[in-house]
Chain A
Amino acid sequence: MSRGPAKAIEDITEGFAKHQYICSEQISTAVYLANELEKPILIEGPPGVGKTELANTAALYYEKELLRLQCYEGLDETKALYEWKYGKQILYTQILKEQMQEVLEGAKGLRESLERLSKFEDIFFSEQFLEARPLLQSLTSTEGNVLLIDEVDKADEEFEALLLEILSEFQVSIPELGVRKAVVKPLVILTSNNSREIGDALKRRCLHLYIPFPDAKLEREIIKARVPEISKRLQVQLVDFVQGLRELDLKKLPAISETIDWARTLIILNADELNQDLAKSTLNVLLKHQQDIDVVQKEVPRLVMASDG
């Protein structure tokens, strides 16, 4: 590649910004490296900082299809990788009963019938009966795609083991069909909310990106990109207020997605600046626990004052 990596990273930052995703240098470096090294990215960070959104935007930016696998407890390979179409198999055996009889006609004894049958046995375990789930779809697609494995920490630890082969070799082994290798290696993005520690084996195979809450400058840019109709003054006040909130001891800190929601709420209410009453009455957009709201109610005057200065 002739362009320098620094330039390429800048391009990514700009390209993402066109899709209203403002990213820090860390993030764009991760995307660049993932593409160059063909390695998956494991993204960690508090909820609502745009982990999933990053995958969406990457798909838009590279103009590729996004395949999403939402993880949950009890997720197994039949939901994630592939499954045989049992219904179809049964239906076909019923329909083909007569043909089978023809095949078996004249066969003497069990052994001979079995020998004849065994020549056809694999038919029912061929591509036609294979139901590809997101992981296999992603590997077999010829156009290349972005594979998002969302909230991988919600899945069981056994599931991680299943991912290992796919993430490091970009291949899966299906016992009946053999090894399937990726035609075009997908860009893989895994997200985790850290509800449990991800295994070392999985971490080792990934680039590890941690997205923290953004600083005031970045957050202002994000608000500007996402809610362009907001007035400059309100935007500054709003971000300062939220930044102040994050310093309090709350059960759930407001993330970027909440800030954006709040900005939209204020736009609907036709506000051009933040005052105490307005802040108090709309706190429930930002905070999701009654306890937190109670705590913040008392702090509102101070925070509004601070955001004014």
Chain B
Amino acid sequence: MERVLTDFVKALRNVNIRVSPAETLDATEVLEKVGFENRELLKNTLSLTLSKTPEEKEKFSTCFNDFFREQLSYEEATSTELPSIATEQHANSELANQLLEDSYADVQLSISKAGEEAEIREIKYFTQRSVFSRRILDIMGVGNLEEELAVLGKINRDGMPSDLEQQLRNELTHLRERVSDYVQQQFLLHGDVTGEQLREQVFKSMNMGQIDRSYLHEVHSLVRKMAKKLTNMHSRRKKNFRRGKLNIRKTIQDNWVNQGILFKLRWSYKKVDRPKILVICDVSGSVGAYARFMLMFLFSLTEVVSKIRAFVFSSHLGEVTDEFKSSNLEHSIESALSKYGGGSTDYAHAFSDFVSLCINEIDKKTTVVILGDARNNFGPEKAELLKSVYERSKQVYWLNPEGKYRWNTGDSVMNTYSAYCTKVFECGTLEQLERVISTLLRTAI
């Protein structure tokens, strides 16, 4: 019983449901109460103890159905068992007898046993499936059966194969199919996932421009996770940082111990507003590949940080905060790109738009973040506009998706602009982006 549970927990972890050992213990306790008889009850109880968010509940449901499907198919199969055909010849090998005489469920059981012996739970990659199938078949003794079939074939030289041979051949094909099904199922439960974690790692460290658009969805969930982690971390920080007014009532209460001498001061904690951030994102042709991911991160940030305003530009600049708030990711990215994207970059124009749009909103608490490659098509730089923003704001960050070695080559004017930035970062991969945003949230308070 415990074995089944630990296997199941492992399968859950594989689909990214976090189950702690303590929760496994809880589940064991629960199982002692409800047992395995009632499937629906089992599912409900395990779901209550093992999955702890709505998303996890959904994953749990599929995983549960997959994992306990095996048991179901026993019941279905036993009812459709065929009567074995009486033959004058007798099968010799153990496996042959088993195939001819045992019920479907018993065979399934010995497949599972062989699977355990073959350490099927160690399966990790898609390509290992045939190796494991072969290994299981070997353990079950397919070698002997094949030899026997060869012998039977020789005896019946006169052409027509005997009933026994025919039947055994059918059973063998059938067995092969079942083993491969079994391996496939085990692979889905135990293998696939390491793949998922691997992929996340790869996505994180891959240059954003190189990630194919078809992975957008997967990357989005990853980016969201990152954004959420970041804001969670930093919103907590803020609390301890700032202190509000002196709380006279509490101070006096706490100091009665000291005969009313106010040793220990108590503060009423002020609710601290989240940082005010303005983000400007270049979506022109030259950074087209990055723009998508930049926007994605921007979108995720607007989901978790309330006081953030987002602007995009290629030649002229516009605000997209509202669009990002109201609709779904793909829709808002597409609309931002189609409205403002694709054109050739004109930083001078974009900055002048930005200044006229919201220079009055920038104050000493504002952080301005610019995402772009500073490639200006040899146009005017108008760095004084950026300077005016820099002077009014708390800080200006510039995130450049290009590698440092490419800055200031060709039409890139990074040097000119970086004079008016508090800091410039290279920001080509999601990992770098995460690090930058982390610094940003820490200092934007």
- Check A5/B33 contact, CB under 8 A, given A73-B271, A89-B256: yes
Inter-chain contacts of A74 with B (CB < 8 A): 269
Partner of A90, one of B34, B53, B239, B256: B256
Q: Any chain A CB within 8 A of the CB of B38?
A: yes
29 interchain pairs (CB within 8 A)? A5-B33, A5-B34, A5-B35, A25-B40, A25-B41, A25-B44, A26-B47, A26-B48, A29-B48, A33-B30, A33-B49, A36-B33, A37-B26, A37-B30, A39-B26, A44-B53, A73-B271, A86-B253, A89-B256, A157-B236, A200-B18, A204-B22, A207-B49, A208-B51, A208-B52, A208-B53, A210-B54, A210-B57, A212-B54
Partner of B228, one of A29, A73, A86, A197: A197
Q: How far is the CA of A197 from the CA of B236 in the complex (A)?
A: 12
Q: Any chain A CB within 8 A of the CB of B97?
A: no
- Give the residue name and chain of the A residue nearest to B50 (CB): A208
Instruction: Check if A6 sits within 8 Å of B26, measured CB to CB.
Output: no
Tell me what chain B mostly uses at the interface: helix, strand, loop, or mixed.
helix
Q: Any chain A CB within 8 A of the CB of B23?
A: yes
Q: Any chain A CB within 8 A of the CB of B6?
A: no
Q: How far is the CA of A44 from the CA of B48 in the complex (A)?
A: 12
Within 8 A of B (CB), among A25-66: 25-26, 29-30, 33, 36-37, 39, 42, 44
- Check A207/B22 contact, CB under 8 A, given A5-B33, A36-B33: no
Partner of B38, one of A6, A36, A156, A209: A6
Instruction: Check if B48 sits within 8 Å of A208, measured CB to CB.
Output: yes
Partner of A209, one of B26, B41, B48, B269: B48
Q: Any chain A CB within 8 A of the CB of B443?
A: no
Inter-chain contacts of B26 with A (CB < 8 A): 37, 39
Inter-chain contacts of B49 with A (CB < 8 A): 33, 207-208
Q: Any chain B CB within 8 A of the CB of A9?
A: yes
Instruction: Check if B22 sits within 8 Å of A6, measured CB to CB.
Output: no
Q: Which residues of A contact B (CB under 8 A)?
A: 5-6, 9, 25-26, 29-30, 33, 36-37, 39, 42, 44, 73-74, 86, 89-90, 156-157, 196-197, 200, 203-204, 207-210, 212
- Give the residue name and chain of the A residue nearest to B35 (CB): A5
Measured CB to CB, the closest approach of chain A to B45, in angstroms, equals 6
- Give the residue name and chain of the B residue nearest to A27 (CB): B44
Q: Any chain A CB within 8 A of the CB of B29?
A: yes
Instruction: Check if A29 sits within 8 Å of B44, measured CB to CB.
Output: yes
Measured CB to CB, the closest approach of chain B to A226, in angstroms, equals 25
How many A-B pairs fall under 8 Å by CB?
64
Q: How far is the CA of A220 from the CA of B41 in the complex (A)?
A: 24
Instruction: Check if B33 sits within 8 Å of A207, measured CB to CB.
Output: no
Inter-chain contacts of B35 with A (CB < 8 A): 5
Per-residue interface assignment for chain B, residues 48 to 70, with 1 indicating a CB less than 8 Å from any chain A CB and 0 otherwise: 11011110010000000000000
Instruction: Check if A33 sits within 8 Å of B45, measured CB to CB.
Output: yes
Residue count of chain B within 8 Å CB distance of chain A = 31
Q: Which residues of B contact A (CB under 8 A)?
A: 18, 20, 22-23, 26, 29-30, 33-35, 38, 40-41, 44-45, 47-49, 51-54, 57, 228, 232, 236, 239, 253, 256, 269, 271
Q: How far is the CA of A203 from the CA of B52 in the complex (A)?
A: 7
Q: How far is the CA of A197 from the CA of B57 in the complex (A)?
A: 16
The 8 closest A-B pairs by CB, nearest first: A208-B52, A29-B44, A207-B48, A203-B52, A5-B34, A86-B253, A210-B54, A26-B44
Measured CB to CB, the closest approach of chain B to A177, in angstroms, equals 16
Inter-chain contacts of A44 with B (CB < 8 A): 53-54
Inter-chain contacts of B30 with A (CB < 8 A): 33, 37
Measured CB to CB, the closest approach of chain A to B261, in angstroms, equals 14
Q: How far is the CA of A196 from the CA of B23 in the complex (A)?
A: 22
Q: How far is the CA of A57 from the CA of B18 in the complex (A)?
A: 32
Which one of A25, A89, A207 has the highest number of Cβ atoms from chain B below 10 Å of its Cβ? Answer: A207
**A39-B26, A212-B54 known; 12 other A-B pairs, CB under 8 Å?**
A5-B33, A5-B41, A9-B41, A26-B47, A37-B30, A89-B256, A156-B239, A197-B228, A203-B52, A204-B52, A207-B48, A210-B53
Instruction: Check if B34 sits within 8 Å of A30, measured CB to CB.
Output: no
Q: How far is the CA of A9 from the CA of B40 in the complex (A)?
A: 12
Inter-chain contacts of B33 with A (CB < 8 A): 5, 33, 36-37
Instruction: Check if B256 sits within 8 Å of A30, measured CB to CB.
Output: no
Measured CB to CB, the closest approach of chain B to A224, in angstroms, equals 24
Inter-chain contacts of A157 with B (CB < 8 A): 236
Q: How far is the CA of A159 from the CA of B269 in the complex (A)?
A: 14
Q: How far is the CA of A25 from the CA of B40 in the complex (A)?
A: 9
Q: How far is the CA of A176 from the CA of B112 in the complex (A)?
A: 60
- Give the residue name and chain of the A residue nearest to B34 (CB): A5
